[in-house]
Structure 1
Amino acid sequence: MNTETKNIEFGAQRISIADIVNVAFKSAPVKLSNDKTFAKKIDAGVAFLDKLLKEEGHIYGVTTGYGDSCTVDVPLSLVEELPMHLTRFHGCGLGDFFDHDQGRAIVASRLVSLSQGYSGVSWDLLNLLVEMLNQDIIPVIPQEGSVGASGDLTPLSYVAGALIGERDVYYQGEVMKSAEAFAKAGLKPIKLRPKEGLAIMNGTAVMTAVACLAFDRAEYLSKLMTRVTAMASLALKGNSNHFDDILFSVKPHQGQQQIASWIQHDLNHHKHPRNSHRLQDRYSIRCAPHVIGVLQDSLPWFKQLIENELNSANDNPIIDGVGEHVLHGGHFYGGHIAMAMDSMKNCIANIADLADRQMATMVDVKMNHGLPSNLSAASEDRKYINHGFKAIQIGCSAWTAEALKLTMPASVFSRSTECHNQDKVSMGTIASRDCLRVLQLTEQVVAATLLATVQGIRLRVMQNELSMDTLNPDVAAMVEDVSSFFELLDEDRPTDNLLRETIGYIQQQRWDLYEK
């Protein structure tokens, strides 16, 4: 990741997507702010709830049941047991589990919201969440079971359950009960105060955390696909005039212009303009800035939506301890994240389709302008039995088709649930999970296409149709770096491990691209 490890302070300042990424992947240490205003909000919220309970106030989720059961008054003798029951009956999550890093992002995202000071939670709860991150005790959270309104109730119940010592966690490379991990770390489970179970669970932390991680990958992918396009143009003896700055000045989408400028830079256009005999290259090259540019222009909008949700109090009810108000609403509704993720996965899938078309062009002798069939580097006498990138290109078709299939927006599939109390829901968590899957598939296609462009450039050099010393230094360095782990494909061999290695490098953001 192209982020720097730093202390992340919760409670008095805005938390960024980059902060969540740092907590997730670099285990950046976290702490609570000692800002007096922040402390006042936390103290006032706890005191106000205690006051209401003492006066037998009627508080949703504190002295009543949950959701449709809000009409059920809970006797004061049972109020303290209610949060525990909430965590337990929501322990029905299924599907794959979020991995360790994703779990860190989820815990951090919930901590951001609770640290806004409008959830009525105690210092004990906040401090234990901080210790869980700093000592790397991370809840094991199933991915399925949230409709994205009333928040991520079921997956977040695994965070709440871990806090009271009843659920599994990742700790020291193992999965164990949180009570056992706490004991090893010198910590103790807490007893949830009234409202605290609801405060942890009734929010958008899962979908928002996933959105933060998706944004980071999408931002890098936009740059990587730009570099891959430039390399594909080189491999195909493309026309660098397609990315001219005057040309793009007349269609002033800033992100699109940025992509074109980066490609023009990579093609070393001003020093070595490449004017092929073709007046126009195929759309997958010529229109690449228009495809990648949609994502590039959307990134600021996605960032705004995600970071606003991240830095919000998004449970129910909102507890204004300072002003002594209990405010019932629907801030747990994940519509903004759903929109961002449904839109992002559309942009990303189009990147997969673009890369797939570039790959298809490079392997086809009818379109690749003199490159060998399937980009095979086999010798003349052995070309008859070698197949180069043939199967990899088929794989790209499969991965792209699956990515495109997942572009159906999850947010349009709202369903009435929970006895029609939750009668309009966001499906934001499903949209976020879909987006991660589309990113994975697209990274697979781009990894394959990157390898193909390197093979193509090396073949042009071998054919004396291209010289490495005329390449932009950044492009030349990337070709050399990829060639350090990718041996020229001359004889057929399995490439699955190579592809996985390349995908790993993409997800680790191995290459610094277009740093300003």
Structure 2
Amino acid sequence: MTNTKPAITFDGTRLCIEDIVAISQQTSSAQLSAAPEFRQRIQKGADFLDRLLREDGVIYGVTTGYGDSCTVVIPPELIAELPHHLYTYHGCGAGRFLTPEESRAVVATRLASLSQGMSGVSIALLDQLEILLKHDILPLIPAEGSVGASGDLTPLSYVAAVLCGEREVMYRGERRNASDVFTELNIQPLRLRPKEGLAMMNGTAVMTALACLAWQRADYLCKLSARLTAMNVVASAGNANHFDETLFAVKPHAGQQAVAARIRNDLASPQPSRNDERLQDRYSLRCAPHVIGVLEDALPFFRTLIENELNSANDNPIIDAENERVLHGGHFYGGHIAFAMDSLKNTVANLADLLDRQLALLVDTRFNHGLPSNLSGCTGPRAAINHGLKALQISVSAWTAEALKQTMPASVFSRSTECHNQDKVSMGTIAARDALRVLELTEQVVAAMLIAARQGIALRRRIDPNLQLPEALAAMQADLEDRIPLLVEDRALDKELQALILNIRAEAWVLYAD
């Protein structure tokens, strides 16, 4: 069968978040450049290292030990074994394994960095990384064990080991020994050259890969939160004038203005009138652009930080073959990713908090302007035993509280490690994992809010049969009605929630063109 997936070429030119996400989701394939000039540039670094070794050059991590052991001189006859010892003794990861999507992203991200041609690796190493992606041979990578400087050493040791036919992989949905899969596919295990173990492990590939996936999910939640807010304004008979263009022109945060415009356009029709005298809705509706807009404004900045890291050479030392220099530094330090992920989890958790407050208004007869208690669709005598979304609102509160609890920045918890060589570290990988957990919890809140918005608008129509929804909201409501039956008699909602969570992650709804 011909592979019709578009290929993303790795040749040292700039990649974007969407490239890594596409490879992780297998909507695009990864292709190492076959251009002779690219391959020659890569090989030039490896040849330069070979010449230094022949001339008795002292190279950190090649002729010396690692980290605080940099004063230990490696006997020439043992230099070839050193890279294999590096990934061996770092085989001490714990926690969950990265998902298949996360593992693909990690391999692709490391390939992107090494393709910069500043790491002194051979083209054979890059070819082996491409082979893993081509055959979807996914290293089983424990999520925990990295302090984010000297890079993601422990989790990346599992990638390095798999390149050499060691440890375990996921292949075609089965957990297997890498050596068996390599034998089956006639893949030759790699023998790492000097510096290649360090080049594979001494970098920010895990945190950066997770950050790419987190950014994409956060971007979609940002848009979906605006759509849900518009639906909740309709359901609660709210005031559409809170999103007026002139009103937002006087506070020129571009992201906040964009969110207000999305909600305003979604509400582009006369809204139902209310009999009360309240001119202003409560903050969770009126100030929604101000909450969602913080994330909207921050996302471009986060993108810059993540993509700069993605397109960097971030191991140590840097091998400048062109000028024949070995440059010792600290590019493995993941401070920018740590900051981006600590900040992203804060802004995303605020979406959960905003929607949690909107739900609290919708289910409460004191605030929902005539809707039944807990948005129950049951009427007549049986209404007494039906409880609508009462329990769902409790779960949303629990998920929101947990998301907010996770917003403590990981980057402020630097620990001195490795005999005080790594005495200031980034905690970037922990921050990225925290961000993914906050996203997971917020997606659960959003799934619940899709049920509530669908229910709330249907019940508002009972009160106002002449209610006309604007085009975008009408289409969204119709889609949700196809997915979620009206809740009349109490029923378990867990399966519907899980299906909606998958829909959110698959970006099932086309939201805004801006």
TM above 0.5, yes or no, is yes
In the other structure, the counterpart of 1:313 is 313
Question: Alpha-carbon deviation of 1:258?
Answer: 0.5
Match for 1:13: what amino acid? T
Residue 378 of structure 2 corresponds to 378
The Cα of 1:323 is off from its aligned counterpart by 1.1
Question: Which runs of structure 2 are paired with 1:190-205 in the superposition (5 Å)?
Answer: 190-205=190-205
2:439 equivalent in structure 1? 439
Is the Cα–Cα contact under 8 Å of residues 361 and 368 in structure 2 kept in the other structure? yes
8 A Cα contact 1:140 1:168, kept in partner: yes
**Alignment map for 1:95-114 (pairs within 5 Å):** 95-114=95-114
Deviation at 1:68, TM superposition (A): 0.5
Cα distance in structure 1, aligned partners of 2:170 and 2:373? 48
- Secondary structure of 1:407's aligned partner: coil
Counterpart of 2:510, as a letter, is: D
Instruction: Check conservation: 2:339, 2:411, Cα contact below 8 A.
Output: yes
What 5-or-longer segments of structure 2 have no aligned partner? none
Q: Deviations over 1:145-180 (max 9, x none)?
A: 000000000000000000011111111111111111
Task: Tell me, yes or no, if the aligned pair for 2:415 and 2:423 is still in contact at 8 Å.
Answer: yes
Other-structure match for 2:148: 148
| Aligned with 2:471 (options 465, 470, 473) | 473
CA distance in 1, matches of 2:352, 2:9: 37
Q: Which residue is equivalent to 2:300?
A: 300
Residues 15-164 of structure 1 aligned to structure 2 (within 5 Å):
15-164=15-164
Note if contact 2:83-2:197 (Cα within 8 Å) is conserved in structure 1.
yes
The letter for the 1-side match of 2:59 is I
Give the AA of the match of 1:285: L
* Matched letter for residue 96 of structure 1: R
Task: Read off the aligned partner of 2:84 and give its amino acid letter.
Answer: M
Task: Report the equivalent of 2:484.
Answer: 486
SS at match of 1:26: coil
Q: Does 1:393 align with 2:393?
A: yes
1:191 shift after superposition: 0.3
Deviation at 1:35, TM superposition (A): 4.1
Counterpart residue type for residue 424 of structure 1? K
* Percent of residue pairs identical: 60
| Mapped contact 1:241–1:273 kept (Cα < 8 A) | no
Q: Structure 1: how far apart are the matches of 2:351 and 2:228?
A: 11
In the TM superposition, what whole-angstrom CA distance separates every residue of 1:374-428 from its partner, at most 9, and x where no partner exists? 0000122111111000000000110000000010000000010000000000000
- Structure 1 residue 272: deviation in Å? 2.2
1:72-118 deviations in Å (ceiling 9; x for gaps): 00001000000000010000000000011110000000000000000
In the TM superposition, what is the alpha-carbon distance from 1:477 to its structure 2 partner? 1.2
The letter of the residue matching 1:423 is D
For 1:264, give the aligned amino acid: R
**Counterparts of 1:363 and 1:186, CA distance in 2:** 61
CA 1:505–1:294: 2 relative to 1, 3 Å: same
Question: Which residue in 2 is equivalent to 1:281?
Answer: 281
Tell me the secondary structure at the aligned position of residue 365 of structure 2. coil
1:131 counterpart letter in structure 2 = I
Output the CA distance in 2 between the equivalents of 1:246 and 1:275. 22
Q: Distance in 2 between matches of 1:450 and 1:439?
A: 16
Q: CA deviation at 1:493?
A: 1.1
Q: Deviations over 1:5-36 (max 9, x none)?
A: 52101114211100000000025221122445
Q: What is the match of residue 265 of structure 1?
A: 265
Q: What is the CA distance between 1:140 and its match in structure 2?
A: 0.6
Alpha-carbon distance between aligned partners in 2 of 1:43 and 1:132, rounded to the nearest angstrom: 21
Q: Distance in 2 between matches of 1:47 and 1:27?
A: 36
Q: State the 1:463 CA deviation.
A: 2.4
Q: Which residue of 1 aligns with 2:419?
A: 419
Deviations 1:283-335 (A, max 9, x none): 00000000000000000000000000000000000011121110000000000
2:216 maps to which residue? 216
- Aligned runs of 1:324-343 on 2, under 5 Å? 324-343=324-343
- Retained in 2: the 8 A contact 1:10–1:111? yes
In the alignment, does 2:472 pair up with 1:457? no
RMSD: 1.2
Q: Contact between 1:91 and 1:157, CA under 8 Å: does it hold in 2?
A: yes
Alpha carbons 1:162, 1:169 under 8 Å: kept: yes
Which amino acid counterpart does residue 484 of structure 2 have in structure 1?
F
Cα 1:231–1:5 shift into 2, 3 Å: farther
Matched residues in 1 for 2:513 and 2:182: separation? 42
Gaps of 5+ in 1: none
Query: Aligned to 1:505, which of 503, 506, 510?
Result: 503
Partner Cα distance (1:473, 1:168) in 2: 51
Measured against aligned partners, the alpha-carbon deviations of 1:171-202 in whole angstroms (never above 9, x if no partner) come to 11111111111222221111000100000000
- Tell me, yes or no, if the aligned pair for 2:39 and 2:123 is still in contact at 8 Å: no
With normalisation by structure 1, the TM-score equals 0.97
Give the direction of change, closer, same or farther, for the CA distance of 1:15–1:427 in structure 2 (3 Å limit). same
Query: TM-score under structure 2 normalisation?
Result: 0.97
CA distance 1:466–1:341, shift in 2 (3 Å): farther
Pick closer, same or farther for the CA change 1:493–1:273 going to 2, 3 Å.
Answer: closer
Cα drift, residue 281 of structure 1: 0.4
Q: For the residues of structure 2 that align with 1:456 and 1:273, how far apart are their CA atoms?
A: 15
**Maintained 8 Å contact 2:455/2:486:** yes
Supply the AA of the counterpart residue of 1:299. Answer: L
Q: Deviations over 1:448-497 (max 9, x none)?
A: 01210110000111223552xx2122211111111112111111111111
Query: 1:437, 1:397 → 2: CA distance?
Result: 16
User: After superposition, what is the alpha-carbon deviation per residue over 1:129-153, rounded to whole angstroms, capped at 9, x for unaligned?
Assistant: 1111011011010000000000000
The within-5 A match list for 1:210-249 is 210-249=210-249
1:361 is displaced (CA, Å) by 0.5
Q: Is the 8 A contact 1:240 1:274 kept in 2?
A: no
Moved more, 5-14 or 485-494: 5-14
State whether structure 2 residue 291 is matched by structure 1 residue 291: yes
Q: Find the aligned partners of 1:183 and 1:245 in 2 and give their Cα distance.
A: 64
CA contact (8 A) 2:146 2:155 kept: yes
Query: Would you say how many aligned residue pairs link Structure 1 and Structure 2?
Result: 509
| Structure-2 residue corresponding to 1:495 | 493
2:492, 2:271 → 1: CA distance? 37
Would you say the 8 A contact 1:374–1:388 is kept in 2? yes
Partner amino acid, structure 1, of 2:170: Y
Distance 2:59 2:502 in 1: 49
